Chains A and B, each alone.
Chain A
Amino acid sequence: MAKGDPGAPARGRRAAPRSRKATTGDPELVQLLTPAGERIESVTGPDGIEYRVDFTDEEYRGLYRDLVLVRKLDAEATALQRQGELGIWASLLGQEAAQVGSGRALRTQDMAFPTYREHGVLYCRGIDPIMPLGLFRGVDQGGWDPNEFKFNMYTIVIGAQTLHATGYAMGVAMDGKTGSDDGEAVIAYFGDGATSQGDVNEAFVWAGVFNSPLVFFCQNNQYAISEPLDRQTRIPLYRRAAGFGFPGIRVDGNDVLATYAVTRHALDNARLGQGPSLIEAYTYRMGAHTTSDDPTRYRIASEVEAWQAKDPIARMKTFLEREKIADAAFFTEVDEQARREAVDLRERVLAMPDPEPTTMFDHVYPGGSPLLDKQRAQFSRYLESFEGSVH
């Protein structure tokens, strides 16, 4: 399942071996794959819903491949920034499972509204991973077609996109595209810091009032740059949903299987016309906020090490190995693919041309502007006055 829609999990395709039913552990946290790589067959969440996935071996391997590729491409982008090839990079390190799990839970017709860190979801949507690098290199401000890929442009202003997602979801409902299995759903990504924003709370109000087909997907990575979660909230974030009148659930965001199960359930509820819900994907930002940040100023190494033990990829690898779903040759091949794609990404980033200066005048208005046309013409003449010199 490297690309496209894996479809609904089919029952009985593969019974999860050596698994158990569980309601133990953190009762607030839906988990289907423990940090030690132990598979839990199904888990009943505090919402009373039984969460499970029934993937084929190939689908398990596909998820693992996604996780590895997404991490590798992200690491390459960080390296490119360190070498001066990107202005800045917002790494997703540590959040791969939250993004791949939710990204793969989306159906083709579903629409996603990302923040600026959703490189993993972007990958799952089939968008060329070079696209966000153009943004952070400074050659454009996005580049992909949001409607073609059903994945909006990155939004830098914290939380603003949750309102866009809500309006889009209202439109889905107004178009009569809910109420059946092939209905459409919308997902809004945001972080723990964003939950303090007015826009996010307004989006909660709107989506609740209009019963919009929307999943609010909060990656709680524990930090808003330097500020820890307790500066944003007194209660677990998922419980905020209750006050707005829709379900909230916390999932282990480092567990790709549980994230998939919970997101798929929420999306299907939305597409069936049952309204919005909030998912808090409990995870950890292993790296800096961006390459401009220095997390050693505000958090201690032991905290990072504790989360290192909950790594989303390591647990999946342990599971695949233990259950003999994948062999050494598979892991080598995935690593090799990741290396190749990273090299390819690097080469293409380095080959990205700077835009022509006068293109800054393009696409300001669909209907154009005579004043802007005049300004562009004046600036072009100014540039031409340097004929023979490099400008």
Chain B
Amino acid sequence: MATETLTLGKALNVGLRRALEDDPKVVIMGEDVGKLGGVFRITDGLQKDFGDQRVIDTPLAESGIIGTAVGLAIRGYRPVCEIQFDGFVYPAYDQIVSQVAKMHYRSRGKLNIPMVIRIPFGGGIGAVEHHSESPEAYFSHTAGLKVVSCANPQDAYVMIQQAVASDDPIVFLEPKRRYWEKGAVDLDGPLSEAYPLHASRVARAGTDATLLAYGPMVRTCLDAATAAAEDGRDLEVVDLRTLSPLDLGVVYESVRRTGRAVVVHEAPSNVGLGAEIAARITEECFYSLEAPVLRVAGFDTPYPAARVEEEYLPDLDRVLDAVDRTFGW
């Protein structure tokens, strides 16, 4: 078994390469994805090997990227669109929400838009404004879109290929601050036997409380669980992986055992994923709960200047503080 240690970014790169190899209809398009290999180098070397008809440097217009990808999809292609940064997806918002998401529905199933919209998201890299946002709630709220996020190199490698192979339009959120984190990746496992794309998974088993996270916050929660273990608390961490549709079966099972749940995300708490998850846990696990479902999230401010983002972003201490509060109920 060829298991290699790869960064999350490189795992995405290898996964995209596989996707291009597996299906001649797959095309990658975006700003600077060609010669440069993307500003994060996720498409590094792909244009060189697959040509500029498969890996397309587009004009600098996000609505144009998504809108033309819709046309390519109608023509039978499988576009993988890169939005360079989270904060730049909004010019494409109309095309994503009104066109990509609805085309299958409006056509009563006659058209598929098998598009992947890759978005490096979240903060923590000291960036200037518009480069650190977490727009997942906007897309999760939209029927017709599916939204996923990977949290480790193995998932990055597998999930990007699964997303490209899916006939659903998928917003694929990449935890940009974790691009450089390394992990073992099984490069040989057949995609058909891989863990399903739209399924949550226990990332760390525990008994005392359940932490729920996705993307960049999974690592934060795992670190929090390690720290809590030193204090004698055994925390379970669930990597949600799929944000729309949510897959909360393992969450309900976990919360029924632990009686306590904390949802963690970088996005602002107001009307965020945490609110939906908390509501669903309350509906399904009401008699098991020892405390209200708590949220640790970004504050309800615009994403702040980089020098204070560490205070804005949920971190190990804020997560553990919330866990403490669930025990103080």
Q: Which residues of A contact B (CB under 8 A)?
A: 113, 140-143, 145-147, 152-153, 155, 157, 160, 162-172, 174-175, 198-199, 202-203, 205-206, 209, 362-367, 369-372
**Which of A155, A206, A365 is B146 in contact with, Cβ under 8 Å?**
A365
| Residues of the A chain whose Cβ atoms lie less than 8 Å from the Cβ of B67 | 160, 162-164, 166-167, 199, 202-203
**Which of B58, B95, B108, B144 is A142 in contact with, Cβ under 8 Å?**
B108
CB distance from A271 to the nearest CB of B (A): 15
Q: What would 13 more interface pairs be, CB under 8 Å, given A146-B110, A199-B67, A367-B167?
A: A146-B111, A157-B98, A166-B67, A167-B67, A167-B71, A171-B76, A199-B63, A202-B61, A206-B68, A363-B104, A363-B107, A363-B108, A365-B144
Contact status B245-A167, CB under 8 Å:
no
CB distance from A142 to the nearest CB of B (A): 5
| B64 contacts chain A at the CB level, 8 A cutoff | yes
Contact status B104-A364, CB under 8 Å:
yes
Given contacts A202-B64, A365-B146, contact A168 B106 (CB under 8 A): no
Residues of chain B in range 41-69 having any CB-CB distance to chain A below 8 Å: 53, 58-59, 61, 63-64, 66-69
Question: Nearest residue in A to B54 (C-beta to C-beta)?
Answer: A174
Contact status A366-B167, CB under 8 Å:
yes
CB distance from A162 to the nearest CB of B (A): 8
The main secondary structure of chain A at its interface with chain B is helix
**Which of B68, B106, B166, B168 is A166 in contact with, Cβ under 8 Å?**
B68
Contact status A170-B71, CB under 8 Å:
yes
Contact status A168-B71, CB under 8 Å:
yes
CB distance from A172 to the nearest CB of B (A): 7
| Residues of the A chain whose Cβ atoms lie less than 8 Å from the Cβ of B302 | none
Contact status B109-A366, CB under 8 Å:
yes
**Which of B27, B103, B245 is A371 in contact with, Cβ under 8 Å?**
B245
How many chain B residues touch A (Cβ–Cβ < 8 Å)? 45
Measured between alpha carbons, how far is A153 from B111 in the docked complex, in Å? 10
Measured between alpha carbons, how far is A60 from B112 in the docked complex, in Å? 39
Measured between alpha carbons, how far is A169 from B77 in the docked complex, in Å? 12
Residues of chain B in range 138-190 having any CB-CB distance to chain A below 8 Å: 143-144, 146, 166-168
| Residues of the A chain whose Cβ atoms lie less than 8 Å from the Cβ of B105 | 141, 363-364
Measured between alpha carbons, how far is A335 from B108 in the docked complex, in Å? 35
Contact status A168-B74, CB under 8 Å:
yes
Contact status B99-A160, CB under 8 Å:
yes
| Residues of the A chain whose Cβ atoms lie less than 8 Å from the Cβ of B111 | 146-147, 153
Contact status B75-A369, CB under 8 Å:
no
CB distance from A161 to the nearest CB of B (A): 9
Contact status A164-B99, CB under 8 Å:
yes
**Which of B53, B66, B109 is A362 in contact with, Cβ under 8 Å?**
B109
Query: Can you list 22 contacts pairing A with B, beta carbon distance less than 8 Å?
Result: A141-B105, A142-B106, A146-B107, A147-B74, A152-B74, A157-B99, A163-B68, A163-B70, A164-B74, A164-B99, A167-B73, A167-B79, A171-B75, A202-B63, A203-B67, A205-B59, A206-B58, A206-B64, A206-B68, A364-B104, A364-B105, A364-B144
CB distance from B27 to the nearest CB of A (A): 8
| Residues of the B chain whose Cβ atoms lie less than 8 Å from the Cβ of A362 | 108-109
**Most interface-central of B64, B71, B77, B246 (chain A CB within 10 A):** B71
Question: Nearest residue in B to A186 (C-beta to C-beta)?
Answer: B71
Measured between alpha carbons, how far is A113 from B76 in the docked complex, in Å? 16
Measured between alpha carbons, how far is A342 from B242 in the docked complex, in Å? 51
Contact status B245-A147, CB under 8 Å:
no
Contact status A198-B99, CB under 8 Å:
no
| Residues of the B chain whose Cβ atoms lie less than 8 Å from the Cβ of A199 | 63-64, 67, 94-95
Residues of chain B in range 5-19 having any CB-CB distance to chain A below 8 Å: none
Question: Nearest residue in A to B97 (C-beta to C-beta)?
Answer: A157
| B290 contacts chain A at the CB level, 8 A cutoff | no
Contact status B107-A153, CB under 8 Å:
yes
| B309 contacts chain A at the CB level, 8 A cutoff | no
| Residues of the A chain whose Cβ atoms lie less than 8 Å from the Cβ of B59 | 202, 205-206, 209
Given contacts A146-B111, A153-B106, contact A205 B64 (CB under 8 A): yes
**Which of B61, B69, B143, B246 is A167 in contact with, Cβ under 8 Å?**
B69
